[in-house]
Amino acid sequence: MCGINTEEETKIPWGWKAPWKRNNTQISSEDWKQRLPQSIIIGVRKGGTRALLEMLSLHPQVAAAHSEVHFFNVEENYRKGLGWYSQQMPISHPTQITVEKTPGYFSSLKAPERIHAMDNSMKLLLIVRDPVERLVSDYTQILHNRKARHKPYQALEQILLRQGQELNTRYKAMQRSLYALHLARWLEFFPRSQIHVVDGGTLIREPLSEMRHVEHFLGLEPYLGPDNFYFNQTKGFYCLQAKGYQHCLDQSKGRPHPTVDEVLLEQLCTYFSEHNENFFAMVGRTFNWC
């Protein structure tokens, strides 16, 4: 095959505008190969990483790895080496940037140094949301998985409140919401200019405005527009559309949260308030949380 002529042949994700068809040019198939990423969505878990990646996938200059690779935070994978890692990436052209997302990287103790060792110019995307909402969403996913496997589960109040109503701050979902603690490790290896913080709340309410900032950070041509988003009344959030196709995130996204005791929610807001202020100072912006 001396050239690429169809989207089917290269397995281009839905909604992409084939870059080799612009300006009636042809691109040799030899230019298409798997490459190490130039940008990584590092987290946070249950913060909107999947939505962010799907929206980026609409851009013709982006080649997105649609499976979480867990290379830098899972020892078994990391020992396989960069050759294995590159094989997990999508086929791309030099005019595109490859992006992968693994939200487990953000809270990993080793991921920042390992990514820096691979590429110290890496552009990192961090999407955050209200830490209390993130915690409840994290618990909701665990709860759903345990129910599906017919395993016992506890109410969030039972997990988080010890005798005397003291918060169990060692609960993993609590630890993942300590954004300042984790970001400090990343800033030991990467300058703040290489970490773009995405507001997960704004991404849900006004996806285009937030994606404009992401495009600029990644050095992409402005491409996404109002026609790429439509509000799904049934799901209660924006879905994606391009070239006659429509696509919504799967049913695991936007899953209803269980009712949580109001007193516990107030305790959580109080606990996270100082951590949030530290995070705001680190990123130079504030968020409307709690």
Known binding-site residue numbers: 46-50, 129, 137, 238, 253-257
Kindly report which listed range (9-13, 86-90, 103-107, 191-195) carries the lowest average pLDDT score.
9-13
The set of catalytic residues is 46
By percentage, how much of the chain surpasses pLDDT 90?
73
Bond into 136 cis (ω within 30): no
Q: What are phi and psi of 156, to 5 degrees?
A: -60, -35
pLDDT digits (tens, 9 = 90+) for 10-23: 333 433 344 433 44
pLDDT value, residue 16: 39
Mark the binding-site residues for 3'-phosphoadenylyl sulfate, compressed into ranges: 46-50, 129, 137, 238, 253-257
pTM of the predicted model over 0.85: yes
Per-residue tokens: 279: 């995070």
**Phi-psi domain of 177 (left: phi exceeds 0; alpha: psi -120 through 50; beta: other):** alpha
Question: What mean pLDDT is predicted for residues 45-51?
Answer: 95
What band does 147 get if pLDDT is binned at 50, 70 and 90?
confident
What is the reported pLDDT for 254?
61
Q: Which are the contacts of 171, defined by CB distance < 8 A and separation ≥ 6?
A: 159, 160
Given a cut of 50, whether residue 240 has pLDDT beyond it is yes
The string over 24-46, giving b where at least 16 C-beta atoms fall within 10 Å of a residue's C-beta and e elsewhere, is eeebebeebeebebbbbbbbbbb
∠66-69-73 over CA atoms, to 5°? 145
Q: Residue 54: which of 43, 64, 39 has the closest Cα?
A: 64
